[in-house]
C-alpha cells in the first residue's frame, strides 16, 4: 500500500507527519498476546474463481473484503496438487513426503474412512502446539487425513489425536457418491472394470450351466458349483465396499461419535456454519483456533436452494458464491463478539481447480485464471498456485499485495510463533514465518527454493533469485495432456505423476515466472544467457534438499488405502451402520 502524496510547505513538518502516519496504524504484535486464529480453507477452489484475483463474473464480496482489509498474496503455493497431501503439509508445515502422506502409486489420497493410512501420530500439527499454549482448538468441516489404524475405535488419525479439542464434520471428503442423484465419482473407471469382470464371470457361469443342462457341455456339477461360488464371492468382495460408498465414506462426526451415516446433504452447509459460529461464541473469552475446512467447492457441489441459479457459472458458480456468503457470516460473528482487532483471519484453497471435472456440458470444476494446468498436476502453476489472504486489523496493513513466493506450509510457523510457541526442533520444518513479510518489515520471502511434487515424484522446482527479482521454474516432468493441446487430461479425468502419462525433460523446461506467469514460452540456452547457470543452481538445491529426506512408512500404500471392514466407523452394529442424530427425532 502506498501513502497518498502529501504536500507541506515546511520541510520540518513533513518528516514528522509522515513518520506518524507510517507508525501509528499498525500495532506491534508483541502487544497482542495470543491472538485468535480463524483459518478458512476452500476445497478445489481455483485462483481464477475469486473476484479479488480477477474474476468479474462470480461474486465473492466477502473474500474480496478480506483482501481489501488485509494482505493478498499473489504467489501462494500449495505443497501438493491434491487434498490429502496438501492438507498434511498445511497442518505440519512439512512437505507431505516427509510424513509419508504422498504416494508412490496412483492412490494419491485417502480413499476410505476404513483405510489404515493417515497422518502419523508422531507428526506435530500447529493445533497440537496451540493446544499446549492454552488455546481452544476446533476443526469444522473436512479432515481427509485418516481415522483408524487397527480397530474401528482406536481413532489414531482422528483430529482429536492431532491437537483439536473439538471436531465436527466429515472425516473423509465430499464426493458425488454422497449425493444419491449424482453419478458415482469414486474410483469410477476401476468400478466399471469390476462390473465388467463380474458380468463376464457371471456369463461364463450361466453358459456353463445351460450347456450342462442341454448336454452341449460335459462338465461336473461340482465344477459348476465352484464356479457359481467364485462368481458370488468375487461380486461380494468388491460390492461390499464400492456398493455402499455412501454409507462407508459419507458420514458426519462430532468428536468421536457419528452423527449422520449417511450424511443428509440438504442440511450439511447450515450445520457446518452453525457449528463454526457456535465455536466462536463459546470460546470468545479465551484464545482460540478455528480451522473451518469448507466442503465447498468440491463435487457434488452441495448448494442450498437459496443460492441455486444465482451465478453466471452454473452450479459451480452458485457453490462458490454460497461459500463466500459463509465467509461473510463467520466474519460477522467475529465482529459481533468484538474480536476483529484480536483475530488473524486467513483464507486459501488447498490446491487448484479441477479442470477435468465435467458432466456432459456442465463444468463442475474450478478455473485457474491465466495459469496452466489444474488439480492433480504437481508442476504447472494452475495446480498449485492458490488464493492466499491474511487480515488482522491494526497489525497488517490493509489493501496490501505481495508477489513474493509463499507456501501453505508457512501457516504453521506463523501461527505457532504468534501463539507464543516454538516449532519442533527435532525435524525439518519447510514453512517460514510470514509475519515480517506480511507487515512489510522485510521485502522478500524467506523461501529461496520451493519443490513441487506430484506424489513422491519431483516435477518442478522454483528458485526465487532475490537480488534480481526473477522467479525461475524448472520442470523435470510434465503430464501429457489428452486430447493433445487440451490443457488437461480430459481422457483420464486426472493427470498422472509418472509412467506413460508424463514426459521427462532433459534439459528441463525453464520459465521465468515474473515475465511469463502462464508458462507459455519455455527458455533455452539459445534464448536465455543464464540458462545453464540457473539449471546448475537448481540442481544443487535439489541435491541439498534430498539430503534432508529420511525414509518413513508410506501412509498411502495400497495396503493402507484399501477398505478394511474391521476399521469401518459404524453407527450401529457392523454392517448395519445407520443413524441420524441431527434430525428432529
Measured CA distances, 147 to 117, 141, 232, 575 (Å): 8, 15, 30, 18
Q: For the segment 92-137, what is each residue's pLDDT rounded down to a tens digit? A: 999 999 999 999 898 899 999 999 999 999 999 999 999 999 999 9
Cβ atoms < 10 Å from Cβ of 190: 12
* Nearest CA-CA partner of 90 in 54, 53, 42: 42
Confidence check: pLDDT of 255 > 90: yes
Residue 506's contacts (CB-CB under 8 Å, 6 or more residues apart) are: none
Return d(Cα 325, Cα 306) in angstroms, integer: 11
Q: Give me the pLDDT at residue 215, please.
A: 82
Q: Give me the pLDDT at residue 1, please.
A: 41
CATH number for 39-174+250-580 (one of 3.40.80.10, 3.90.650.10, 3.40.720.10, 3.30.70.270): it is: 3.40.720.10
Looking at residue 184, the DSSP 8-state letter turns out to be P
* Nearest CA-CA partner of 243 in 194, 171, 300, 181: 194
Q: Give me the pLDDT at residue 159, please.
A: 98
91 with 145: CB under 8 angstroms?
yes
Return d(Cα 383, Cα 418) in angstroms, integer: 30
Return d(Cα 345, Cα 327) in angstroms, integer: 10
Higher pLDDT, 442 or 33: 442
Return d(Cα 453, Cα 81) in angstroms, integer: 8
312 with 58: CB under 8 angstroms?
yes
Return d(Cα 161, Cα 118) in angstroms, integer: 12
Q: What are phi and psi of 503, to 5 degrees?
A: -110, 130
Burial of 5 (0-12, 13-18, 19+ CB in 10 A): exposed
Looking at residue 397, the DSSP 8-state letter turns out to be P
86 with 79: CB under 8 angstroms?
yes
Confidence check: pLDDT of 361 > 90: no
Return d(Cα 92, Cα 89) in angstroms, integer: 5
**What sign does the dihedral 558-563-226-212 (CA atoms) show?**
negative
Confidence check: pLDDT of 253 > 50: yes
462 conformational bin, left if phi > 0, alpha if psi -120 to 50, beta if neither: beta
575 with 262: CB under 8 angstroms?
no
DSSP of 525-545: TTT-TTHHHHHHHHHHHHHHH
* Nearest CA-CA partner of 83 in 260, 295, 336, 236: 295
Q: Give me the pLDDT at residue 58, please.
A: 97
Q: Give me the pLDDT at residue 28, please.
A: 59
What value does the mean pLDDT take over residues 364-388? 97
Q: Lowest mean pLDDT of 184-198, 457-471, 535-549, name the range.
A: 184-198
Confidence check: pLDDT of 23 > 50: no
Q: Give me the pLDDT at residue 585, please.
A: 46
Q: For the segment 400-422, what is each residue's pLDDT rounded down to a tens digit? A: 999 999 999 999 999 999 999 99
Cβ atoms < 10 Å from Cβ of 119: 28
Cell numbers for 503: 514426459
Tell me the pLDDT band of 32, cut-offs 50, 70 and 90.
low
Query: Hey, where are the domains in the chain?
Result: 39-174+250-580, 188-242
Q: For the segment 448-469, what is each residue's pLDDT rounded down to a tens digit? A: 999 999 999 999 999 999 999 9
Percent of the residues in the chain that have a pLDDT greater than 70, as a whole number? 94
Catalytic positions? 83, 144
Cell numbers for 574: 457392523
* Nearest CA-CA partner of 173 in 277, 293, 272, 258: 293
Amino acid at each position: 500500500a502506498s501513502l497518498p502524496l502529501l504536500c507541506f510547505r515546511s520541510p520540518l513538518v513533513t518528516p514528522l507527519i509522515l513518520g506518524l502516519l507510517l507508525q501509528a496504524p499498525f500495532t506491534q504484535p508483541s502487544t497482542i498476546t495470543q491472538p485468535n486464529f480463524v483459518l478458512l480453507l476452500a476445497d478445489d477452489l481455483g485462483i481464477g474463481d475469486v473476484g479479488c484475483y480477477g474474476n468479474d463474473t462470480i461474486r465473492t464480496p466477502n473474500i474480496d473484503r478480506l483482501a481489501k482489509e488485509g494482505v493478498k498474496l499473489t504467489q501462494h503455493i500449495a505443497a501438493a496438487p491434491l487434498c490429502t497431501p496438501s492438507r498434511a503439509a498445511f497442518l505440519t508445515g512439512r512437505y507431505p513426503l516427509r510424513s509419508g502422506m504422498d504416494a508412490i502409486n496412483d492412490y494419491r489420497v485417502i480413499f476410505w474412512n476404513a483405510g489404515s493410512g493417515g497422518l502419523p501420530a508422531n507428526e506435530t500439527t500447529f493445533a497440537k502446539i496451540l493446544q499446549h499454549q492454552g488455546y481452544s482448538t476446533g476443526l469444522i468441516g473436512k479432515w481427509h487425513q485418516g481415522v483408524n489404524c487397527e480397530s474401528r475405535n482406536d481413532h489414531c488419525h482422528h483430529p482429536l489425536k492431532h491437537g483439536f479439542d473439538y471436531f465436527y464434520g466429515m472425516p473423509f471428503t465430499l464426493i458425488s457418491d454422497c449425493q444419491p442423484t449424482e453419478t458415482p465419482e469414486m474410483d469410477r473407471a476401476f468400478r466399471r472394470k469390476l462390473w465388467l469382470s463380474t458380468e463376464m464371470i457371471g456369463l461364463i457361469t450361466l453358459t456353463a450351466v445351460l450347456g450342462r443342462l442341454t448336454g452341449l457341455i460335459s462338465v461336473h456339477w461340482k465344477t459348476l458349483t465352484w464356479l457359481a461360488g467364485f462368481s458370488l464371492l468375487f461380486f461380494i468382495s468388491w460390492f461390499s465396499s464400492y456398493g455402499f460408498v455412501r454409507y462407508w465414506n459419507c458420514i458426519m462426526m462430532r468428536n468421536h461419535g457419528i452423527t449422520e451415516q449417511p450424511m443428509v446433504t440438504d442440511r450439511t452447509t447450515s450445520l457446518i456454519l452453525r457449528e463454526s459460529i457456535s465455536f466462536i461464541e463459546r470460546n470468545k473469552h479465551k484464545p482460540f483456533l478455528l480451522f473451518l475446512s469448507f466442503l465447498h467447492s468440491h463435487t457434488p457441489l452441495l448448494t442450498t436452494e437459496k443460492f441455486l441459479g444465482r451465478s453466471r457459472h452454473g452450479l459451480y458458480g452458485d457453490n462458490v458464491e454460497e461459500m463466500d456468503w459463509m465467509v461473510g457470516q463467520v466474519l460477522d460473528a467475529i465482529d459481533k463478539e468484538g474480536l476483529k482487532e484480536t483475530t488473524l483471519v486467513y483464507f486459501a484453497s488447498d490446491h487448484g481447480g479441477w479442470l477435468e471435472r465435467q458432466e456432459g456440458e456442465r463444468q463442475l470444476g474450478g478455473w485457474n485464471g491465466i495459469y496452466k494446468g489444474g488439480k492433480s498436476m504437481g508442476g504447472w502453476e494452475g495446480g498449485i498456485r492458490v488464493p492466499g489472504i491474511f487480515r488482522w486489523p491494526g497489525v497488517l496493513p490493509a489493501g496490501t499485495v505481495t508477489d513474493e513466493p509463499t507456501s501453505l506450509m508457512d501457516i504453521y510457523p506463523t501461527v505457532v510463533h504468534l501463539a507464543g510457541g516454538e516449532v519442533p526442533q527435532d525435524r525439518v520444518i519447510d514453512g517460514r514465518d510470514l509475519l515480517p513479510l506480511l507487515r512489510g518489515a522485510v521485502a522478500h520471502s524467506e523461501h529461496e527454493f520451493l519443490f513441487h511434487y506430484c506424489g513422491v515424484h519431483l516435477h518442478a522446482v522454483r528458485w526465487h533469485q532475490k537480488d534480481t527479482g526473477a522467479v525461475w521454474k524448472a520442470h523435470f516432468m510434465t503430464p501429457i495432456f489428452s486430447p493433445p493441446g487440451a490443457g488437461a487430461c480430459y481422457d483420464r479425468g486426472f493427470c498422472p505423476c509418472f509412467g506413460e502419462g508424463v514426459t521427462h525433460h532433459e534439459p528441463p523446461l525453464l520459465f521465468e515466472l515474473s515475465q511469463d506467469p502462464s508458462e507459455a514460452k519455455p527458455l533455452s540456452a539459445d534464448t536465455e544467457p543464464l540458462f545453464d547457470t540457473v539449471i546448475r543452481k537448481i540442481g544443487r538445491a535439489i541435491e541439498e534438499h534430498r539430503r534432508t529426506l529420511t525414509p518413513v512408512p508410506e501412509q498411502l500404500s495400497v495396503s493402507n488405502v484399501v477398505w478394511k471392514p474391521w476399521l469401518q466407523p459404524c453407527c450401529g452394529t457392523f454392517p448395519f451402520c445407520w443413524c441420524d442424530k441431527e434430525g428432529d427425532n
